[in-house]
């Protein structure tokens, strides 16, 4: 896949047997040294392959938790790279999911005003979503993705075999974003996804590969015409405004993609109550989402906390709260006048019907 960017064009390539291809994968780059940021859990799981791939080059392992992509942590990462001798001619290489990509991308975009950056996404969420699109994000004051830049990687290498070792929660988190993108596309894409989700080889093989590429193609169609998120790309935040608030309010106990699933359920109910979404379509989408909702007691979350985080949402532009509401599959709209009373009423109704954790 070739991706156009006003900053720099880049490519995504599916590869097999990453560990034996270092020389080939970096043959088209002009660089001095490679510097690696690696998800700590991924490093422990793939230690033998990674050690052979990295060799004697600098490697920093980072635990993939939201606290580690906070603004206060950045100085540690900059210091580690500078002490190791990174120059503007070198390449920062990331093995990890969304947290590692956000950390690395922000650093790559700001250190020396921009260095080369290569990504090996290791989670389904990263492979199907965050590995393309140019966004980098850092948390600030417990608010999700409040600080960030637009900076694409120079190359993305995608090996679906990494998904075979994901936990059930990690895989489900990826499905959350995959479902979101297909709901933002059209009826045919959505029906194709429903068929794929029933396939026996969902966790590996051709079905997974096709599902990932379909999702990336949908995402590319949104951001290539609105890379800097000033128009249509805003719609990709479907499920995210409430989802990000839920992540923060739960102290990040709920994985990102699963929070998006819950967020879509919430805004679909709000869309139904506003008369934007007909009941038949609401029930069809809700029946699908309920299969993947995380097992979490939503009654533990104070609606006041949800509202406080919604007020900090970076898409908010006025006095009202902002969310992406649904009118139909492939038909969504940004609403900026949502009242706190609406959020409270919808949240109370949504929590009452949310699947029991018992």
Task: State the CATH number of the domain containing residue 157.
Answer: 3.40.50.1970
For residues 56 and 35, is the Cβ–Cβ distance under 8 A? no
The answer as to whether 128 is a domain residue is: yes
Q: Based on the domain organization, do 242 and 148 belong to the same domain?
A: no
Q: Based on the domain organization, do 175 and 189 belong to the same domain?
A: yes
* 96-to-13, 41, 60, 242 alpha-carbon distances in Å: 16, 9, 12, 25
Q: What is the pLDDT of residues 266-293, one digit of tens each?
A: 999 999 999 999 999 999 999 999 999 9
Q: Based on the domain organization, do 261 and 276 belong to the same domain?
A: yes
Q: Based on the domain organization, do 132 and 155 belong to the same domain?
A: yes
Q: What is the pLDDT of residues 45-75, one digit of tens each?
A: 999 999 999 999 999 999 999 999 999 999 9
pLDDT of residue 143: 86
Number of domains in the chain: 2
4: tokens are 């156009």
pLDDT band at 358 (very low <50, low <70, confident <90, very high): low
Q: Pick from 60, 58, 61: which is nearest to 33 by CA?
A: 58
The answer as to whether 203 is a domain residue is: no
The answer as to whether 205 is a domain residue is: no
Q: Based on the domain organization, do 161 and 263 belong to the same domain?
A: no
The answer as to whether 211 is a domain residue is: no
Provide the mean pLDDT of the chain.
95
Q: What is the residue range of 342's domain?
A: 168-195+231-353
């Amino acid at each position: 896949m070739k991706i156009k960017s006003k900053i720099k064009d880049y490519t995504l390539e599916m590869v097999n047997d990453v560990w034996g291809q270092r020389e080939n994968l970096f043959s088209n780059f002009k660089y001095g040294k490679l510097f690696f940021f690696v998800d700590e859990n991924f490093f422990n799981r793939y230690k033998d392959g990674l050690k052979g791939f990295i060799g004697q080059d600098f490697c920093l392992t980072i635990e993939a938790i939201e606290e580690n992509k906070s603004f206060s942590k950045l100085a540690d990462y900059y210091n580690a790279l500078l002490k190791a001798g990174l120059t503007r001619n070198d390449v920062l290489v990331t093995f990890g999911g969304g947290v590692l990509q956000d950390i690395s991308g922000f650093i790559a975009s700001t250190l020396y005003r921009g260095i080369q950056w290569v990504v090996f996404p290791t989670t389904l969420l990263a492979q199907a979503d965050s590995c393309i699109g140019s966004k980098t994000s850092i948390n600030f004051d417990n608010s999700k993705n409040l600080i960030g830049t637009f900076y694409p990687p120079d190359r993305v290498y995608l090996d679906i075999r990494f998904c075979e070792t994901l936990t059930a929660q990690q895989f489900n988190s990826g499905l959350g974003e995959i479902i979101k993108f297909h709901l933002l596309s059209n009826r045919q894409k959505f029906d194709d996804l429903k068929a794929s989700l029933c396939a026996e080889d969902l966790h590996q093989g051709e079905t997974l590969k096709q599902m990932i590429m379909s999702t990336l193609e949908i995402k590319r169609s949104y951001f290539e015409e609105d890379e800097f998120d000033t128009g249509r790309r805003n719609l990709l935040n479907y499920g995210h405004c409430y989802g990000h608030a839920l992540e923060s309010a739960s102290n990040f106990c709920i994985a990102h993609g699963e929070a998006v699933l819950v967020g879509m359920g919430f805004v679909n109910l709000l869309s139904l109550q506003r008369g934007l979404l007909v009941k038949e379509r609401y029930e069809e989408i809700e029946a699908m989402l309920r299969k993947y909702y995380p097992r979490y007691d939503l009654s533990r979350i104070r609606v006041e906390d949800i509202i406080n985080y919604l007020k900090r949402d970076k898409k908010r532009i006025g006095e009202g709260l902002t969310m992406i509401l649904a009118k139909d599959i492939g038909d969504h709209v940004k609403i900026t006048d949502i009242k706190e009373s609406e959020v409270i009423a919808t949240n109370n109704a949504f929590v009452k019907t949310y699947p029991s954790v018992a």
